Structure 1
Amino acid sequence: MADKKSPHTRATAKLIGIGVGPGDPGLLPLASAQAIKEADIVFTPVSRFSKASLAASIAAGTGIDESKIQKITFPMAKDTETLQKAWTQAAAPVIKALDNGLRAVFLTLGDPSVYSTWIYLRREVEAQRPSASIAVIPGIMAANAAAARLGLPLVEGKERLVLLPLPEKVGELDAYLPLADRIVVYKIGSRLEELALWVRERGLDEQAHLVVGVGLDREAAGRLIDLAEKEQGYLSVALIRGRRE
């Protein structure tokens, strides 16, 4: 596709993907805060089920002008064709901002390079505007924040780390136990009890820990099997000690 540009495009037009961290505004990188302040427009992702933006609330401490914030609804579908149409639609206001010569930022939880909507947005923008100026400012990952909260190392020495979303079949985690010293599980959602059952059946009660609501006021940390009895898995991270051979 040809690289279409508005005749009004300024040389300063740029898109920056910003990781705002796991939830605590105090963990927002200084570089991210500065980029947000300098932006002409701030894009933030929301789902079709909720128009609230956690990423925007984290960035609020920078003194951001709320009139600059523009929410983008991101797809939850699994059908490839539906997803592609949705991504094209989501990228449209971002491309318009670049064509108008604006300095735009896109906020995302954690780090932009890890299970982030930024990945898909950037891919779509680059497909339609190959010469667009794009940059990324990394953020603190939820895994790092969870390990700090628990007082546990992620890995040390020559240990191996595996990070993955909770598989559709939780039993697929079995394959990683002999391969990794630490297994980090994201995207637990409503399936925390299912993961807790797997932990119990594998005798990992003392090796599996969880941080619920990482970086938020409701944050709780402890053994996974204990928290599973009273907490939900949304915005949670599990750290499981593997049995690498």
Structure 2
Amino acid sequence: MKGILYGVGVGPGDKKLLTILAVETLKNADMIVVPDTGGEKTALNIVSEYIEGKKLMYCSMPMTRDAASLQESHRNSAELICAQLDKGLNLAFITLGDPTIYSTYIYVHRLVIEKGYQARIINGIPSFCAAAAKLGISLCDGKEALHIIPASYEGVDKLLALDGNKVLMKSGKSILNIKDKLKKHNLLSNAKMVECCYMENEKIYDDLENLNENSSYFSIIVVKGD
């Protein structure tokens, strides 16, 4: 019998925010798949105490926007995973936040399913929900709309013009440009940010007016109103 791939969301940065189901899945897995971007293994650090003694499989996931390179890494990862599933092993692919929100995992998930294997998603706490909690605010009340925006990509101006509240993800090195765009749309005074939410170097910004340097890739901006 072939094994099953589980995409496990490990939350925003604190092991205490792992769901019970995520912990159970990690403990029951035969092997842990670790996305390797060449930098710090944040997701691995979060789950470390729950996977002691388990075999690890590192899959190269370069931090690039080159479509060909990304597709190749996804295909290679899917092939490595399927080879283990053929042995009857159950694999847990760990990913920050939730696997359904801007996660590399979902591309591998689709490829594995296309090859005829089973793959299941274990939800995690999304970073923007954790950030809103840290800020002590709601993301949407009543009939308010909520827009999730990849801040470092094209089309941000058009999305900022939409009615409702906004969450801007993947700000990082584009933060000063995003700040200018928020000011252009008269939204700067409505914006708050959490950098590295629930991580050791967490920073909370109730005001972006005096922000004058690039922030971490793990930065979430919440904009209330329009």
Shared fold, TM over 0.5 = yes
- Counterpart CA distance in 1 for 2:175 and 2:67 is 28
- Counterpart CA distance in 1 for 2:187 and 2:175 is 15
- Counterpart CA distance in 2 for 1:184 and 1:59 is 26
1:88-135 residue CA offsets vs partner (Å, 9 max, x unmatched): 11222211110010011100000000100111111121222x1x2221
Which residue number corresponds to residue 95 of structure 2?
108
- Counterpart CA distance in 1 for 2:210 and 2:110 is 38
**Structure 2 residues without counterparts, runs of 5 or longer:** none
Task: Say whether the 8 Å CA contact 2:146–2:166 is kept in structure 1.
Answer: yes
Pick the aligned partner of 2:173 from 190, 193, 203: 190
- Counterpart CA distance in 2 for 1:189 and 1:178 is 21
For residue 233 of structure 1, report the CA deviation from its aligned partner.
3.1
Please provide the CA RMSD for this pair: 1.9
Structure 1 residue runs of 4 or more that deviate by more than 6 Å after TM superposition = none
Distance change (3 Å), C-alpha of 1:158 and 1:233: same
If you compute each CA radius of gyration, which structure gives the higher value, 1 or 2?
A: 1
1:60 is paired with a residue whose SS is: helix
Alignment partner of 1:53 is 2:41: yes
1:160-207 residue CA offsets vs partner (Å, 9 max, x unmatched): 0100201434xx433234433211011112111111222233333320
- Counterpart CA distance in 2 for 1:127 and 1:76 is 24
Which residue number corresponds to residue 118 of structure 2?
133
Q: Please show how residues 117-132 of structure 1 align to structure 2 within 5 Å.
A: 117-128=104-115, 130=116, 132=117
2:124 is paired with a residue whose SS is: coil
**Structure 1 residues without counterparts, runs of 5 or longer:** 1-9
Q: Please show how residues 105-184 of structure 1 align to structure 2 within 5 Å.
A: 105-128=92-115, 130=116, 132-169=117-154, 172-184=155-167
Distance change (3 Å), C-alpha of 1:178 and 1:161: same
- Aligned residue pairs total 226
For residue 223 of structure 1, report the CA deviation from its aligned partner.
3.0
For residue 229 of structure 1, report the CA deviation from its aligned partner.
2.7
1:5-26 residue CA offsets vs partner (Å, 9 max, x unmatched): xxxxx36x21111000000111
Task: Say whether the 8 Å CA contact 1:15–1:106 is kept in structure 2.
Answer: yes
Normalising by structure 1, what TM-score? 0.85
Percent of paired sites with the same residue: 31
Alignment partner of 1:74 is 2:61: yes
